[in-house]
Amino acid sequence: MFSKACEYGIRATIYIASQSRKERRVGIKEIAAFIDSPAPFTAKILQQLVKNRIIDSVKGPNGGFEIPKDRIFQICITDIVRAIDGNEIFSSCVLGLDNCSEAMPCPVHAEFRSIRAELKSLMDNTCVATLSEDLVKGKSFLKV
């Protein structure tokens, strides 16, 4: 469904959010350890998220990654996925045709139409605040 990079990106963002709620900035090593991902690769992905204004970074001692509190409520899964995997999952044909359209639909187009819309709406409406809340409460996990 998502690329590995995107999976790590979502997990990292949720962890950063959970710590930003407590006014804690976190470094790449801590993030990678907590979400159980390869640190250098994860660093690359976080750079993309910084460029896309999903998360903020601060260099130097006591630096790290953080998300301003208000933005935690604004960032949805869609934003993260778009920043890393692009728009493909939402717009491209399930069977790999060059264009997905009502005019030249593939055989499964109609069948997948509503489920894709639901997926989109789910991802649009699920914000990082909600996701990090369960994590803080110990009701959800980011590794194993």
Partner DNA sequence: AATAAAAAGGATAAAAAGGTCTAAAAATCT
Partner DNA sequence: AGATTTTTAGACCTTTTTATCCTTTTTATT
Specify the residue, 28 or 133, whose C-beta has the smaller distance to DNA: 28
* Listed ranges 13-21, 50-58, 76-84, 95-103: which one lies at the site for ligand FES (CB under 6 A): 95-103
- Alpha-carbon distance of 116 to 9, in angstroms, equals 22
Specify the residue, 58 or 136, whose C-beta has the smaller distance to ligand FES: 136
| Candidate residues 5, 26, 50, 94; the one interacting with ligand FES per rule CB under 6 A | 94
Exposure of 122 in the CB half-sphere (CA atoms within 13 A): 7
- Alpha-carbon distance of 41 to 47, in angstroms, equals 10
| Candidate residues 60, 103, 138, 144; the one interacting with DNA per rule CB under 7 A | 60
* Listed ranges 6-14, 25-33, 40-48, 56-64: which one lies at the site for its own copies (CB under 8 A): 6-14
Residue 40, CA distances (Å) to 12, 30, 99, 124 in order: 13, 12, 35, 29
* Listed ranges 20-28, 51-59, 63-71, 110-118: which one lies at the site for its own copies (CB under 8 A): 110-118
Strands 64-66 and 56-58, bridge-based pairing: antiparallel
What is the C-alpha end-to-end distance of the chain, expressed in Å? 19
Give the gyration radius of the chain's Cα atoms: 17
Site residues (vs DNA, CB under 7 A):
3-5, 8, 26-29, 37-41, 43-44, 46-47, 50-51, 57-65
